[in-house]
Amino acid sequence: MHRRLVHLSLLVTCGVGLTACPTERFRHEKYKCNSGAFGIAEIIVNDTGVGDMAKIIGYDYEKEVKILSSSKSVITTKMDDTSIKIDRDTGTVRVKRGKHYAVFACSKSVFTM
């Protein structure tokens, strides 16, 4: 009886330990926009916290930008004088530079591991 109790408590401890582990160790979000107006081809986000970096890939440049705000549904960032707002649910990217404003229907792909 004592041995069975020890095995059961060990099994419960292991089960609790395994459920406490995060299920997602790596996340790669890619928004493929092909926007001719602002020159943004892709936006890549690996870490989605405020202060983390996102990568903006243009047709003749590649730039790392800091994430200014982040939630489950929206990420905002700024590249030079261009504000970028990404809708994580729909893949829509809103870009504003000065008085110019554009909305892009980007294709979103997510890879997790």
User: Rounded to whole angstroms, how far apart are CA atoms 48 and 69?
Assistant: 9
pLDDT digits (tens, 9 = 90+) for 20-68: 555 557 788 999 987 777 888 999 999 899 999 999 998 888 999 999 9
Q: Which pTM does this prediction carry?
A: 0.74
pLDDT at 79: 87
User: Rounded to whole angstroms, how far apart are CA atoms 66 and 3?
Assistant: 55
Q: What is the mean pLDDT of residues 16-20?
A: 53
CB 12, CB 28: distance < 8 Å: no
3-state secondary structure of 51: coil
